[in-house]
Structure formats: structure tokens, C-alpha cells
Amino acid sequence: MSERTEHKVEKSIQTDFSKDMSYGDYLQLDPILSSQHRLSDHHDEMLFIIIHQTSELWMKLILHELTAATTAITNGELERSFKMLARVSKIQQQLIQSWGVLATLTPAEYLEFRDQLGSSSGFQSYQNRQIEFALGFKNARTLSVYAHDEKLYPLLEGSLQAPSIYDVTVREMHRRGLSIDASVLERDVTQDWEWNESVEKAWVEVYRDVDTYWDLYELGEKLLDIGSQQQMWRFNHMSTVERIIGQKMGTGGSSGVNYLRRVLDHRFFPELWTVRTSL
């Protein structure tokens, strides 16, 4: 680019936003960037706040994509859901990597402001709970954490009562002629998903006849990507917590690392894992 052209391009850049919307206006950066309020004077509390705030923003986008993908699958538009589910997997990678940034916080540094957190804890993240519900990991008892909040409680209750993305996937498999037990199709969707033989056999048929069921096959693989990444996020969460607080109890009253380790035993979309052995 010649110097003259470069100068012309620079002169064309808009600098007067007295009447037009700017980048900061569109993104509402003022309220976002003024929402980091340290409760201590410790330098590293800013890291702790921003990691969790950005994680919640990514979770908001995951829920946005999962909701749209669930609707698409319900309407039999499987291919439309693929881009949304692929995006969820990419977002999960961002969340997984964020634990590495938080892990730069040492135990001594965290102790400088940990008491300021009071009883607040990541366990109380209602968006993370909604994501688990959307993926089929249901537990009505967790709603008690939000009983004090007149807005959050009905929101979480609605998420609990809504069919998960796996529920609507299995219903679509049935609609496509694959044999699914009536007990699965009519199950109480507020309960955690449990492995079912008829569902595994249906997936076996899909994986053995990819040409006939290509879209269901692709959907299964995309769901497995998400389930696998969610487990990786959980594992990195546990490892980071252990690195920073060891075996101490969590600020919200949980057993901390021991609780996070037990959650790792849960597996999303179990038939998509066991079908590998059955094939």
C-alpha cells in the first residue's frame, strides 16, 4: 500500500460519534468494564473476578446455541442444529482453557481475598446448572440453592421441566422409525437420564447404516463432542481447585475437590459411549 493510499484510508476513519453509535456504545462496554468490583486490595482478585465473569458470558452463549439447536432437532431440522452444536464445542474449549489462566493464582495469593467471597461459590452458577439440565443431567434438589430468588427459581424450574437436547434427539430417532421403549419416550424429563438398552440398540443401527441415518449419525457425534468437552471442563475445574485450595471445603459449603471428583463419575449421553463397545 502506498503512503498516499494509506493516508487516504486513515482520513476516511470516522472520528466524530456525537450523533452515531460507536463500538463501545454497541457493546455497552461502560457497564461491562465497570462491573469488576474487588472486595479486597489484593491485585489477583481482579483475575478471579474476570475469569468467572467471562465464563458466565460464554455460558450465556452456550445456552443460546443449545436452545436453538434443541428447537431445530424438535422440528426435525437436524442439519440446522449442526453449526450451533459445533459452536458450543468451540466455546467449551475457551472455558476449558480459562482454567489454565486461573491456575496462575497461587494458594497464598487466593488466601489474601478468599474470605471476601463469603458463602458465594461457583456451585451457585445458575447458567452452569441450566447447561447441565439442557444436556440431560437433572437434579431437582439443586433448585433449593435458588429458593430465595423470585426470578431465578422459576427460571431454573422451567429449565428442569424442559426436555433436554438428548430427550428430543431420542424422540427424533423414534420418529424416524428406530425402536425406542415407550418408557423412554414417556419418561419424566425432570429426572436424570439413565442408560437404556433400546436407545443403545437404536444408536447401533444408526452407526451401522450411516448412509441411511447420516444426519442422526452426525448429530450423535456432535453431542458426544459436547459431552466429552463438558467432562474435560469438569476435570480441569477440579484440578485447578485442588491446585489452589487443596482439600479445603468450598466457600459455598461443598466438600470442594471431593465433590467435584464425584461429579466426574456422571456421563452425558451414556448410550453414545456404550455404543462404541456394542459395534
**Is the confidence at residue 233, as pLDDT, over 60?**
yes
Q: How many domains does the chain have?
A: 1
Q: Which domain holds residue 77?
A: 44-113+124-277
Q: What is the pLDDT of residue 75?
A: 97
220 pLDDT higher than 70: yes
pLDDT, residue 9, reads 61
Binding residues for heme: 237
Residue 28 within any structural domain of the chain: no
Instruction: Over range 14-27, report the average pLDDT.
Output: 91
Tell me, what DSSP letter sits at residue 15?
-
Q: Which pLDDT value is given to residue 222?
A: 98
Q: What is the pLDDT of residue 231?
A: 95
The answer to whether residue 99 is domain-embedded is yes
> Is residue 235 a part of any domain in this protein?
yes
In a domain, 11, yes or no: no
- CATH number where 143 lies: 1.20.58.480
Give 118-137 pLDDT, tens digit per residue: 888 888 999 999 999 999 99
Note the pLDDT of residue 145: 92
Q: What is the mean pLDDT of residues 214-228?
A: 98
Mean pLDDT in residue range 161-189: 98
Which spans in the chain are helix H? Answer: 3-12, 23-27, 29-33, 45-74, 78-102, 107-111, 126-134, 152-161, 165-175, 182-185, 197-208, 214-245, 257-263, 270-278
Residue 1 clears pLDDT 60, i.e. is over it: no
Q: What pTM was computed for the model?
A: 0.92
CA distance 102 to 241: 9
Q: Residue 138 pLDDT more than 90?
A: yes
**pLDDT band for position 13 (50/70/90)?**
confident
74/275 Cα distance (integer angstroms): 23
Rounded distance between C-alpha atoms, residue 214 and residue 232, angstroms: 27
Tens of pLDDT, residues 184-217: 999 999 999 999 999 999 999 999 999 999 999 9
Q: pLDDT tens digit string along 43-70?
A: 999 999 999 999 999 999 999 999 999 9
- Provide the annotated binding site for substrate: 48-52, 110, 114, 251
**8 within some domain:** no
The full DSSP string for 103-125 is: TTS-HHHHHTTGGGGTT--GGG-
Domain contains 208: yes
Whether 5 is covered by a domain: the verdict is no
Residues making up the annotated binding site are: 48-52, 110, 114, 237, 251
Q: Look at 4-18, 22-36, 62-76, 78-92 and tell me which has the smallest mean pLDDT.
A: 4-18
Residue 93 placed within a domain = yes
Q: Say which DSSP state 218 is in.
A: H
- For cell 440431560, name the residue: 136
